[in-house]
Amino acid sequence: MNCTKKFLALLMVLAMALGMTAVAESPVASPAASPVASPVAGEVEPLSTAFLMYADANWHYQWWHDGSEPAEGMKVTEAAITGEGSYTVGLDFTGTPEGAASGIAFAAIGLENGEKALPGWTIRVDEIRVNGQPIEAKKGYTSSDDGIITRSNIYNEWVSELPDDARSWDGVTEDANWITVDKAAFERVENVEVDFTLFRYGADMAYIMFADSSWTSQYWGTDDSAVKATNATVTGAGDYTVGLDFTATEAGAASGVAFTALGIKHGEKLFPGMSIKLNDIRINGESVAFTKGYTSSDDKVETRMNIMNEWVAEVPNDASVRSYDKDLTGVSPVIVDKAAFESVKTYEIDFTLVPKTDTAFLMFADSDWATSAWNPGEFAEGNAVTVDGPGTYTLSLDFSGVKGGEIPGVAFMAVGIANGEATFPGYFIDITEVKVNGEAIELGKDFTTTDDGIVTRSNIWNEWVTDIPAEARVADGDLEGVTAKIATAEALSGIKTIDVTFDYIYGVPPVVETEQPLTEDEVKELTSKTYGAYIAVQSDPNYIFRNDWEEPSYGRDADNDVFTKLAKTNNDGTITDYGATFEDAVISGNGTYTCSMTTGDMGFGEDTAFHFFRVSTDIPSKLVKEGYVTISDVTIKIGEGKTQSGVVVDTSGDWVKLIVEDNYNNIKADGVVLTAPAPNTTTVFTFTVSGLAE
């Protein structure tokens, strides 16, 4: 080996030791025909390219898929990754001067840009062949050294413990290895091939847990039972069938039932957030009636749906409890009649594993505030794209139907995930391309955030953000240079069509601190304070507003007097005062209080609807949630209209709000007919507070 190769080999060793991406040796002159077999993807555009990283014992023959040419006579087989499935990668050294590589220093399967293109996907090595002969291989794991290339180590002496990002196709990493082969099998390598399967989620076992009434016939997913089980291999969302057959047991049937549930062994790890939907339960071949169950986990590993579980007195109140339709009304841990299990020869369940999904949409307002959308499906039905986890998504809007066939510019625009902070907590939005009228525009670096703890957002144009919010996050962890205006106003003008492409990237869910109950001293202090109640409104479509008291720009404590007005923000940043007056409530103890708004001569202009209409208070929600304070008998009266009840007392945020309508959070008071107050009309909220110190 010449000095250059020795030096490069030393660099390679250092790179492996430090967990860096390796640097291949300088390429030799390549023959006319490329020795790298081009991956064939058919008509489907490849998502990634798989390759075999390799260095022989002398670091003479190496391959890293880094743009270098392979050594003279060395042939490379790579694979175009088009989705889940089986693939083969390999190297052939028979054409080299030595006719073979000698030994092994390092080997791994690599996926080019896999952590970005296929985030969270896992590799299962199925077979390794050296010189055409299969060799024994232990179980490996999937990880990444650089956050870009996805890797599954085959032989890596520089690893001494599993990395933090280690993941496995079966949800178990405790038995995974970074050295999966015997070094001796690579003494002389004429060729090496690796067959592997790529999983988006993984592969796991679904089965029926069962114990009869005497605990004689049982099955818990293992082979040490006389019960014949038909289990299902679950690889993601889809339809599956599992079953038990008791005819070969001593009694020939199970008698009664003490417990039964449907389980997916490592479902919480491999299919987080997915839900079980039962389609049919058959006992002795006959369908039996069942009520609605729920999906949960006792240990944060196994996913379960109880079918008969009398040990659960009530549905658990924890984060794992969920339903395929997001509605837990009426669910139960006992969903069948016990009598149906009197004598069980066969027992089958058909079920669907329903993916966790959310909706991406563009929220926007044009520069004239004439055209806008703030919720999925608004402005156009197509302004709602289903997201089912990490991946690349595109949102497209066509403004040819608006007046003039285009919008002149944007006052605000952002990508939103409707319930992202709950559905996909910790995930990142990375806007990779914006096309205006079919042409890509230059972009700055965006960041992911949330204004309300519900909608996940990445701003395209938001001039109200002057400081990066505390909730801001980016996939690479570096907030340096991020901006809430990633394109210029000029680039976002004259928009006939817009297409926004973004990567939705897995992020570790934030650790949610358990909310501690108020102490006796805190209760004493908080119930002795004086509080305020303030009418807050925002009309539609012109955004005539009075904000909640805590809103930083125009709220009670802002460095301006806008909170005292009913106002509208103009395109040039000035404020139009609509001449309303407000009488806010000062809550100094128990009693009945009112707060009011009297419109001026301008009323609400031409607006007749509202984005929100509510009372914002500075009473801490915890006082109400923990039962120390009660707010009751809440009514609203608009002008000479009737007094209406049914106003919602909302404690979902930090402060209690009394809501008639809140379209941003899908809250609407039952039975309240909300009409825009006419000019010079008084609207009065009345409510009773109890539980405060006298």
Query: Who has greater pLDDT, 44 or 420?
Result: 420
- Which residue has 């390092």 as its token pair? 106
Of the listed ranges 31-40, 136-145, 372-381, 622-631, the least confidently predicted one is 31-40
The band of 382, judged by pLDDT with boundaries at 50, 70 and 90, is confident
pLDDT at 147: 86
pLDDT at 477: 87
The band of 10, judged by pLDDT with boundaries at 50, 70 and 90, is very low
pLDDT at 319: 75
| Max intra-chain CA distance, the chain | 98
User: Which pLDDT tens digit goes with each residue over 519-547?
Assistant: 999 999 999 999 999 999 999 988 999 99
Query: Who has greater pLDDT, 424 or 638?
Result: 638
Residue 658 has pLDDT above 70, yes or no: yes
pLDDT at 18: 35
Cβ-based neighbours of 133, under 8 Å, separated by 6 or more:
none
Quote the mean pLDDT of the chain.
90
Are 388 and 471 within 8 A, CB to CB? no
pLDDT at 663: 86
Cβ-based neighbours of 640, under 8 Å, separated by 6 or more:
none
The band of 514, judged by pLDDT with boundaries at 50, 70 and 90, is low
Query: Can you tell me the distance from the alpha carbon of 586 to that of 689, in angstroms, rounded to the nearest whole number?
Result: 12
Averaged over 445-462, what is the pLDDT? 94
pLDDT at 41: 46
pLDDT at 513: 64
CA-nearest of 409, 415, 375 to 395 is: 415
pLDDT at 208: 98
Are 226 and 250 within 8 A, CB to CB? yes
Query: Can you tell me the distance from the alpha carbon of 694 to that of 680, in angstroms, rounded to the nearest whole number?
Result: 37
Averaged over 425-442, what is the pLDDT? 95
pLDDT at 497: 97
User: Which pLDDT tens digit goes with each residue over 663-692?
Assistant: 888 899 998 999 999 999 999 999 999 999
Burial-class residue 632 by CB neighbours within 10 Å (0-12, 13-18, 19+): exposed
**Tokens at 306, concatenated:** 């109880």
The band of 115, judged by pLDDT with boundaries at 50, 70 and 90, is confident
- Which residue has 């009488």 as its token pair? 583
pLDDT at 597: 98
Q: How far is CA 473 from CA 95, 463, 662, in A?
A: 50, 19, 27
Residue 23 has pLDDT above 70, yes or no: no
- DSSP code per residue over 151-176: EEEEEETT--S--TT-B-TTS--TT-
Query: Can you tell me the distance from the alpha carbon of 112 to that of 52, in angstroms, rounded to the nearest whole number?
Result: 11
Residue 515 has pLDDT above 70, yes or no: yes
User: Which pLDDT tens digit goes with each residue over 259-278?
Assistant: 999 999 999 889 988 999 99
Averaged over 17-34, what is the pLDDT? 33
Query: Can you tell me the distance from the alpha carbon of 566 to that of 575, in angstroms, rounded to the nearest whole number?
Result: 10
**Tokens at 150, concatenated:** 């996805």
Q: Would you say how long the chain is, in residues? A: 694
The band of 160, judged by pLDDT with boundaries at 50, 70 and 90, is very high
User: Which pLDDT tens digit goes with each residue over 129-158?
Assistant: 999 999 999 999 999 998 899 999 999 999
Q: How far is CA 693 from CA 166, 175, 520, 591, 594, in A?
A: 55, 60, 13, 11, 19
Averaged over 469-498, what is the pLDDT? 95
Of the listed ranges 5-19, 81-95, 471-485, 673-687, the least confidently predicted one is 5-19
Share of the chain above pLDDT 90, in %: 76
Say what the pTM is. Answer: 0.64
At position 566, the amino acid (one-letter code) is L
Residue 216 has pLDDT above 70, yes or no: yes
Query: Can you tell me the distance from the alpha carbon of 425 to that of 428, in angstroms, rounded to the nearest whole number?
Result: 9
Residue 224 has pLDDT above 80, yes or no: no
pLDDT at 16: 40
